[in-house]
Amino acid sequence: MSYNTETNEWVNWVEEAISKKRIVHYEYEYFRNIKEIGTSDLGKVYRANWKNNFQFFGLKSLSNINDNAIKEIINELELYRKIDSHENIINFYGITIADQENQFGKIQKYLLVMDYIEGETLEEYLKENFHNLTWRKKSDLAYQLARVVSYLHHKGITHRDLNSGNIIVYQNTVKIADFGLSKRIKEATSKKKIDLFGVIPYIDPKRFDKQLYPLDEKKSDVYSVGVLLWEISSGKPPFYVEGQPYNNNLAVKILQGYREPIVPDTPADYVKLYTECWDGEPDNRPSMNNVVNRLRIINLQSGARKTSVNNQLTNERTNLNGNENSSNNISYQIIVNKTTEYIFETINKGLLGKLHILDYFKNNNINSQEIYDWLINNQENSNSNFLLGYFNYYGVATNENHEVAFKLFLKASEKDHILAQSYVGKFYQYGLGTIKNEKLAFEYFEKLAYRNYAIGQVDIGYCYSQGVGTGKDSNKAVFWYEKAVKNKSIVAMSNLGTKYKNGEGIIRDDKKAFELFKKSAEGGYLYGMKMLAYCYDNGIGTNIDKQKATEIHQKIMNKKKNESSDELTLRNREDIFSGETEESEEMLKTKKNVHNNRNQKEVSIHSSPKTPPNRVYTGKGIEEENDEELQKSPIELKRDNVSLKEVVDIINEYREGKIEDIDFTYTQYDFPTTKEHTATLDIKIQHPMKKFGTKFWLKLETISKVAMENKIKEKILCEWVHNNDKKFGNYSYSGTK
């Protein structure tokens, strides 16, 4: 299509779609670093950045089409409007209208704005990498392919042209480039009959039958998928003989039932599946949804996993912006890859984020500010996307910015970055940097779980346990925790131990619970340590041993004392990213024992749904003997943002029993300038939805006038709580110097 031959139909459609916001219009002037990188069936293809975004986009011109193809392009774009962003589809974002005079001279006016993918076809990928592919990787490729075709069918879209030459593999991720547009464009722009010989093995045999049958296009896609599953298992195109093209004879033989032989050592269930898919009778073929479900089971049985984390991290591209051969850039990229690998290892073990990463940088003489500055200008691969998001989330070398972090995690997740996918799920689950969507969070966890990643298996287990994004199902929770335990997750060990101890979703077994808590504790997981101490305290699955229980409690206290308040706050919030934690009700009793080991200046109390009586301080910093009966109303404080609505919500949830664990620590001391006795309240809340801690000031009997100026929001909150004592329970202090 050129400027002189554009049809009114196309122009009108584009203008109407843009005006009605059915399609996003990208102003061409804001694209930068535009570079021609190749051609497609539509025309030339360019790579460019949008504004100051680090992400590359692909720009496809429409120079190789005529008026007959316009309807096909419009139809394709209408199909794109029906789908959401999908990790296995090269996504369409919108249209840009180029200036007629520009740096490329004859660049066409209308360009499609797409994902920029530097991958290779499935055929090329298998040819070059098959000898390095484990069965796990092969089965995951098959699962990804089936899943995306099933997704299209769910949206009412059939592809009709699936073959290993038009499926892209990018960083071990399957990508469908279009919905059969290439074939339809060729049909629309050619006056001759299209040569199908190159794709004969992938075509539904019913198309070769001289008798006319109404084809079920979805079942035709299933046939193609069956052939592709065989190709993934064999590493070569079907019926391939070097130097011999496909011909009509092959089509006739396929119609008569000719198929490729089974590849030795292929799992029987996998063979059964693809042979059903390529059955000559469409009615005998399974649906794509059935194919996906069966591949999930096959993957679980074989322990299928996308790829080892080490491979994912070390195989990242290192041809970086502006200086591809720079040894300095390569050195930075190696640091980024190693850092991301370290984060994965610590989180998968139930260890935590910012504190550990800062220690990691310190121990390895890495300047976090230098890494951050380099990441800003080098965002071409998923590890760089993820780590910059990680820095923004935790405020490493920059201010915390959840919105930016979410966008970067999402970008990395679309490149199949495992950690990023986990974080995207968590952000959706808790509404961090985006709108809360538990169902979508569940879907992200589910993808990781079925690909045998412990981090996803723990999270989906928790979702089933608590009904997050799905219905409650203790049996399924146990199933996934068991899978994660096999993958050596110390978080899952603790969670599964709780299920055994409580007899939820499984027959109660205290000895098994004790063994799991012990393994979790030995791995350094805090809640595993707490539950192990509880077992020794109460003789659960073992003999009562108060000395061992005390030693474990002391280890827990020492672990906390080594962290500053800010780090502890971040650590508590980080708990949500090490896999959700199941904690039994008996832990509430255990917590009461902890305050006995504290000094007289500090008292720890666990709150409960009881309406608390007046709290009396003696002025000596020591609680009355009956203090164990005194409980406090819960209060929620965020470090940066406090609203009264959130306080009301947290109290209501607490009253309903949704909050299981709140710790209050009160430290008393005098202000020499006022001679008034004042208390600092340090609240650490562990809640199914939020985990954090903070401090604010309270004066005995009245709100303290010496609250720090930069804690105004907290002061307002204190006043509100104080004025609403009658509604939410007595919450007053009295005492004299």
List pLDDT tens digits, range 380-434: 889 999 999 999 998 888 888 999 999 999 999 988 898 999 999 999 998 999 9
Sheet holding 691-699, edge to edge: 602-606, 661-671, 676-686, 691-699
The sign of the torsion formed by the CA atoms of 453, 454, 457, 462 equals negative
Q: Is residue 71 part of a domain?
A: yes
Q: Which domain holds residue 97?
A: 8-115
Task: Give pLDDT, residue 353.
Answer: 59
Q: Verify that 324 and 285 share a domain, yes or no.
A: no
Residue 201 half-sphere exposure toward CB, CA atoms < 13 A: 22
Q: Which residues pair with 665 in a beta bridge?
A: 604, 682
**Would you state the pLDDT for residue 50?**
78
With a pLDDT cut of 90, the percent of the chain lying above it is 27
Say if 199 falls within a structural domain. yes
* DSSP H or E stretch at residue 272: helix 268-277
| Location of structure tokens 């042979």 | 275
Task: Write down the pLDDT at residue 186.
Answer: 52
656 pLDDT above the threshold of 70: no
- Split into its structural domains, the chain has a count of 4
Task: Output the pTM of the full model.
Answer: 0.44
In this structure, the answer to whether residues 49 and 109 fall within a common structural domain is yes
In this structure, is residue 476 part of a structural domain?
Answer: no
More confident residue, 561 or 588: 561
The verdict on 141 and 71 lying in the same domain is no
Q: With contact defined as beta carbons under 8 Å apart, do 450 and 300 qualify?
A: yes
Question: Residue 229 above 90 pLDDT?
Answer: yes
Which of 56, 89, 115 is the C-terminal boundary of a domain?
115
Contacts of 537 (CB under 8 A, 6+ apart): 544, 546, 549, 590, 593
- 214 and 171 fall within a common domain: yes
C-alpha 573/C-alpha 151 separation (Å) is 34
Phi-psi bin for 163: left (phi > 0), alpha (psi -120 to 50), beta?
beta
Q: Are residues 320 and 419 in the same domain?
A: yes
Residue 512 has pLDDT above 50, yes or no: yes
- DSSP per-residue string spanning 531-586: HHHHHHHHTSSS---HHHHHHHHHHHHHHHHTS-HHHHHHHHHHGGGS------TH
Backbone phi and psi for residue 685, each to the nearest 5 degrees, phi listed first: -105, 130
**Closest CA relative to residue 460, chosen from 474, 477, 483:** 477
Geometric angle at alpha carbon 651, from 650 and 654, rounded to 5° = 85
| Single residue among 377, 398, 423 that ends a domain in this structure | 423
Query: Which is more confident, 430 or 17?
Result: 430
**Mean pLDDT across the stretch 546-552?**
92
Say whether both 102 and 145 belong to one domain.
no
**Is residue 307 over pLDDT 80?**
no
- Closest C-alpha to 167, from 270, 219, 237, 112: 237
User: What is the pLDDT confidence band of residue 508, given thresholds at 50, 70 and 90?
Assistant: very high
- Amino acid letter, 596: N
The reply to whether 254 falls in a domain is yes
Distance between CA atoms of residues 737 and 722, nearest Å: 21
Poorest-pLDDT segment among 28-32, 428-432, 608-612, 660-664: 608-612
SS3 306: coil
Q: Round to whole Å and give the CA distance between 388 and 378.
A: 10
Handedness of CA 265, 270, 272, 276 (dihedral sign): negative
Q: What is the pLDDT of residue 451?
A: 83
Contact 49, 33 (CB under 8 A): yes
473 as an active site residue: the answer is no
Does residue 549 register a pLDDT over 60? yes
**Domain endpoint, select from 267, 284, 302:** 302
Q: Is residue 524 part of a domain?
A: no
Distance of CA 493 to CAs 53, 468, 480, 547, Å?
A: 42, 20, 11, 24
- In angstroms, the CA 544 to CA 540 distance is 8
Question: What CA–CA distance (Å, rounded) separates 139 from 158?
Answer: 23
For residues 416 and 175, give the distance between their C-alpha atoms in angstroms, rounded to a whole number.
Answer: 11
Looking at per-residue pLDDT, the higher value among 657 and 463 belongs to 463
Assigned domain for 491 exists: no
Provide mean pLDDT across the span 511-517: 95
Alpha-carbon distance of 610 to 279, in angstroms, equals 66
Q: Give yes or no for a contact between 383 and 318, defined as CB atoms under 8 angstroms apart.
A: no
pLDDT tens, 51-71?
Answer: 766 667 888 887 655 556 666
Query: Is 430 inside a domain boundary?
Result: no
Q: What percent of the chain has pLDDT over 70?
A: 61
Distance CA 505, CA 482 (A): 12
Confidence label for 360 from pLDDT (cuts 50, 70 and 90): confident
Q: Looking at residue 410, which CATH number applies to its domain? A: 1.25.40
Chain center to CA of 213? 44
Within a domain: residue 510?
no
Residues in the chain: 737
Query: 425 near 410, Cβ under 8 Å?
Result: no
- Asked if 651 and 634 touch (Cβ cutoff 8 Å), the reply is yes
The count of C-alpha atoms lying within 13 angstroms of the C-alpha of 563, restricted to the half-sphere facing its C-beta, is 20
Amino acid letter, 395: G
Q: Report which listed range, 361-375, 506-520, 686-700, 701-715, is most confident.
A: 506-520
Mean pLDDT of the chain: 70
Q: Which residue type does 421 have?
A: Q
Nearest to 79 by CA among 147, 22, 19: 22
User: 127 and 258 share a domain?
Assistant: yes
CB 452, CB 487: distance < 8 Å: yes
Residues 71 and 128 in one domain: no
One domain for residues 107 and 132: no
Whether the per-residue pLDDT at 516 is higher than 90: the answer is yes
Query: Where on the phi/psi map is residue 230: left (φ > 0), alpha (ψ -120 to 50), or beta?
Result: alpha
Q: Could you tell me the two tokens for 519? A: 């393994």
In the set 161, 204, 416, 661, the catalytic residue is: 161
In the numeric block, which tokens belong to residue 441? 């969070």
Q: For residue 420, what pLDDT is reported?
A: 93
| 3-state SS assignment for residue 110 | strand
How do strand 676-686 and strand 661-671 relate by DSSP bridges? Answer: antiparallel
Distance CA(138)–CA(302), nearest Å, equals 11
Tokens encoding 66: 């005529």
pLDDT, greater one: 541 or 722: 541
Q: Are residues 247 and 353 in the same domain?
A: no
Q: Output the pLDDT for position 488.
A: 86
End-to-end CA distance of the chain: 88
SS3 category, 728? helix
Q: Between 354-363 and 327-348, two packed helices, what is the crossing angle to 10 degrees?
A: 140
Gap between the Cα atoms of 459 and 464, Å rounded:
9
> If you average pLDDT over residues 198-207, what whole number do you get?
84
Task: Write a three-state SS string for 40-85.
Answer: CCCCEEEEEEECCCCCEEEEEECCCCCHHHHHHHHHHHHHHHHCCC
Beta bridge partners of 605: 664
The sign of the CA dihedral 489, 309, 446, 265 is negative
Is there a single domain that holds both residue 184 and residue 287?
Answer: yes
Return the bridge partners of 56, or none.
49
- Residue 262's CB: how many other CB atoms inside 10 A? 15
Q: What is the CATH number of the domain that holds 41?
A: 3.30.200.20
Question: What CATH number has the domain bearing residue 227?
Answer: 1.10.510.10
Same domain, residue pair 298 and 181: yes
Tokens of 449: 């779980």
CA–CA separation, 183 vs 158, rounded Å?
13
